[in-house]
Structure 1
């Protein structure tokens, strides 16, 4: 990857070098075959977990990396540049840990977090339903209290790692009130929990997405995170961080596409010149570089707000919208730069273009991001200046 970075510590610099090395030597050689065969590479996540990558933004006392989001997102970007399915999977796994980290008891954290953050347990996140995607408060999946257990019934759609995860972070309705939703950690081997066949998708074919079915799934009360009714709060707070994760993967995907396009443009000649020397094509590449740097800057701005403990919901939505819209443009232009070759599977840019599309859709469509931003503008009274450190 050709991105230039300024990192906050020497430790972070070493970490990014490690991740770039793993991405180049371990992930890149496996990506094209896995995507072509719709194959889920579970071992890639174990490898990243054992290298300490899956738990980077969480506390060291539970096996995490204790890194700021500013660093973690740049790690995701490096992974997304070579294999978006794995980058998205790492982001989803981190999201599946969020409720436990933020709302779990000390006993829950000590019992489950080390294996989750270490990659031995891979997580999934169950929020959307077939009729309730952008409006999670409309969910119908229920969790009925029965003594020391809850009984879950319902359907969850669009579950990344569906059918392949070791546990599921599940939002389910515990009362008839619109916000009467609670959060649970459900082990994959719980009786009554099953997955439909994986969806046949345009892109990210190395990342299984499936509908999860809950039929009288009994789980103990101690697997509830937080209090009854905290679920929607947990979900929405986690989504802000999840949107930054997708912004990072999308920025990496765009950077990987541009790197491919530039390398091709330097070698390919027409009319006696390299095609990068033709102004019309050079301008396409220049616009891509500008868009990527702008997306990265917005993503890091939102991350630094989060790291400082400041509100960042609006900025997370801006970062997600800007980065994913830009990834769609850059990947499409990369195909154009390669011409007919870009439309073949001999080069990865056609796959990158297919993968970019869904990033405008999941973690809240970009239309939803515009709604979030617009509502935030309506509430904003004035800006603020904060001293860093």
Structure 2
């Protein structure tokens, strides 16, 4: 399936990026997808460094800070879908620094952007992470309990974070805490911290998306100077919501790419495999399943593009981002199931990547707010 570029003509820069990611995905990502999954809790540093040299890890960072200058969400979604087609888990890892950069760009001072974002550009960048989720607070970010207590010259952070992507692997962190416990969103504030100031739990054993290591973070009075607070006290929640709108849209593009990969695999298998005297693609049940996959993918992509365009235009986009995330994540789950179903026993085996993609797809319905949360967001937008 090709991108419907008749709807949104692409620039030469965007086409070059897509060609780069398609080639990198074919040569570097897809051949390593199985081995990275089997390694489970090991970060594929060789892929990270190769992607950095190619310009994939910093293409979304501002040119004035040394990045690729493609700061618009639409271009990020184009890239993320192409990387997701190669392998969503690895693709999400390779662009993780963009998620860290969003709140720094939204709330940070010029000095903070220089100190924390410029090092992310170049051929050997550090990895980064966002620390929001806690053991007792998942999608309800306003309910975080990690405290930021005022002390001379800065703050002491006390609490615990859970399921932090790149935890213990990343060098730089944006940590969300509250300066006013019990006030929900009014007290949420963002802070920048380095790895050596934090303590981490053991890597979590996960169902899928194993290219990204997840851990807990333990904060026992971690000192953060005033100069590493992002924005004003209580401003963190607004910055986080903007970050969520972007990350949900970009992750929806990744899910769309994953769904595309499933359709590509299932279609190729259905053309080659015969049953009852004819290719199985000619059997109605299989043909209809493939048709459903293709239609859902196109619908998911258009919702992603709409949300991205609204974000780039500065329009309210929370509802649209939730629609894109909900549709794309459930499309990825459906298409991974459909691929396994089409391949039959081979789909259930590790001979093909279909079973891995099915495990990977499940996270898309959970991360950055579950599908239930996305439905609540959409319903609120109808009031």
Confirm or deny a common fold (TM above 0.5): yes
What is the aligned partner in structure 2 of residue 104 from structure 1?
108
What is the aligned partner in structure 1 of residue 194 from structure 2?
187
Which residue of 327, 334, 337 maps to 1:332? 337
* Shift in Å, 1:91: 4.9
- 8 Å contact 2:128–2:170 — kept in the other structure? yes
What is the aligned partner in structure 2 of residue 365 from structure 1?
370
Deviates more, 1:5-14 or 1:99-108: 5-14
- 8 Å contact 1:266–1:276 — kept in the other structure? yes
CA–CA distance in structure 2, aligned partners of residues 366 and 327 of structure 1: 12
Asked if residue 20 in structure 1 is aligned to residue 25 in structure 2, the reply is no
For the residue of structure 2 that corresponds to 1:61, the secondary structure is: helix
- 8 Å contact 2:56–2:95 — kept in the other structure? no
* Shift in Å, 1:146: 1.4
CA–CA distance in structure 1, aligned partners of residues 223 and 46 of structure 2: 30
What is the aligned partner in structure 2 of residue 50 from structure 1?
53
User: Which stretches in structure 1 are left out of the alignment for 5+ residues?
Assistant: 379-389
* Shift in Å, 1:56: 3.0
CA–CA distance in structure 2, aligned partners of residues 214 and 238 of structure 1: 23
What is the aligned partner in structure 1 of residue 379 from structure 2?
374
Which residue of 270, 274, 285 maps to 2:290? 285
User: Which stretches in structure 2 are left out of the alignment for 5+ residues?
Assistant: none
What is the aligned partner in structure 2 of residue 385 from structure 1?
none
Count of aligned positions = 375
- 8 Å contact 1:91–1:242 — kept in the other structure? no
Deviations 1:278-331 (A, max 9, x none): 121111111100000110011001111111221111100000000001111110
- Residues 182-261 of structure 1 mapped to structure 2, 5 A cutoff: 182-190=189-197, 193-261=198-266
What is the aligned partner in structure 1 of residue 160 from structure 2?
155
* Shift in Å, 1:66: 2.5
Quote the RMSD (CA, aligned, Å). 1.4
For the residue of structure 2 that corresponds to 1:311, the secondary structure is: coil
What is the aligned partner in structure 2 of residue 308 from structure 1?
313
For the residue of structure 2 that corresponds to 1:212, the secondary structure is: strand
TM-score (norm 2): 0.94
Deviates more, 1:288-297 or 1:60-69: 60-69
CA–CA distance in structure 2, aligned partners of residues 149 and 50 of structure 1: 37
What is the aligned partner in structure 2 of residue 347 from structure 1?
352
Deviations 1:32-66 (A, max 9, x none): 10101213112322322332223333321112322
CA–CA distance in structure 2, aligned partners of residues 290 and 370 of structure 1: 21
For the residue of structure 1 that corresponds to 2:344, the secondary structure is: helix
For the residue of structure 2 that corresponds to 1:189, the secondary structure is: helix
CA–CA distance in structure 2, aligned partners of residues 97 and 47 of structure 1: 20
CA–CA distance in structure 2, aligned partners of residues 54 and 226 of structure 1: 25
Which residue of 57, 62, 65 maps to 1:62? 65
Which residue of 59, 82, 97 maps to 2:86? 82
For the residue of structure 1 that corresponds to 2:382, the secondary structure is: helix
